[in-house]
Amino acid sequence: MAGSLKIHFLLLPLFFIGLSTMASATLFTLQNSCTYTVWPATISGNGAAAALGDGGFQLAPGDTVQLPAPQGWSGRFWARTGCNFDDAGNGQCATGDCGGVLKCSGGGEPPVSLVEFTIGSGDAAKDFYDVSLVDGYNVGLSVQPSGGSGDCQSAGCVSDVNADCPKELQVVDDGGAVVACKSACAAFDTPEFCCTGDHSTPDTCAPTPYSEMFKNACPTAYSYAYDDKSSTCTCTGSDYFITFCPST
């Protein structure tokens, strides 16, 4: 499920979209625990489904937003950083940009930390979710289920990967600060790092020292395309709390 998607308001301290406005199976709560503003983005994996939160919005430090999703929804969330948008919603972000607009209709530009979901289409159906660093890392990210049944694991990346990112994977700003850490695929674009060509199956695409660096930093997150066994989570009938920059 990780990597490329395969599925596979009135501004207040608490954002809320009324559940009565749509048939909702799942409530996502997004919280910004970073010391800086982020611009969360969402994209739907099922073409007919509307983007949650209109695709993107600003979230100040400490603020929270709640987004209801219908049964069967699939998609992903990520945080953009260093954004500037005009009144028309046009602009640019230092990381996670989605085409220079506030309200995304496409995915975030790597490197970016992702949380991905496929919500069950029935009351007893399992949800599948993961935190993915296959497209690299920009901010810490965690997801915690609430009120569901089954395994219902928490997942995420609490470590500051940017602080330990190898120089060849670093994305730096104008001041030289590391703002994101590329995947080896994005940095080198070779089959063994991208799991393509002769390396396009689980048997032929093994972990690399770079993916192991991500895995050691964030054991419950996807570190490369075939990192399924320790990274895909399931739960039934849950709501989900997503935190940007979760604390240790």
Q: Specify the pLDDT at position 5.
A: 41
- Cβ-count burial of 163 within 10 angstroms (0-12 exposed, 13-18 middle, 19+ buried)? exposed
Domains, the chain, in order of start with CATH, read 14-244 (2.60.110.10)
Q: Specify the pLDDT at position 20.
A: 37
Q: Specify the pLDDT at position 63.
A: 98
User: What is residue 108's DSSP assignment?
Assistant: P
205-238 burial by CB neighbour count: b if 16+ within 10 A, else e?
A: beebebbebbbebbebbbbbbbbeeebbbbbbbb
Q: Distance (Å, rounded) from C-alpha 211 to C-alpha 222? A: 9
Closest by CA position to 184, among listed 162, 160, 164, 214: 214
State how far the alpha carbon of 32 is from the alpha carbons of 36, 47, 107, 184, 243, in Å.
Answer: 8, 28, 20, 28, 6
Q: Specify the pLDDT at position 178.
A: 96
Q: Which segments within 6-160 are labelled E, that is strand?
A: 14-16, 26-32, 39-44, 64-69, 74-80, 84-85, 91-92, 114-118, 126-132, 141-146, 155-157
Please tell me the number of Cα atoms within 13 Å of 44 on its side-chain side: 18
Residue matched to tokens 């995420």:
156
Counts for the chain of helices (H) and strands (E), in that order: 3, 15
Report CA 231 to chain centroid distance, whole Å. 13
In the chain (248 residues long), the average pLDDT of successive 10-residue segments reads 40 38 75 98 79 95 96 94 97 97 95 95 89 95 94 93 96 94 96 94 93 94 84 93 92
Q: Specify the pLDDT at position 107.
A: 93
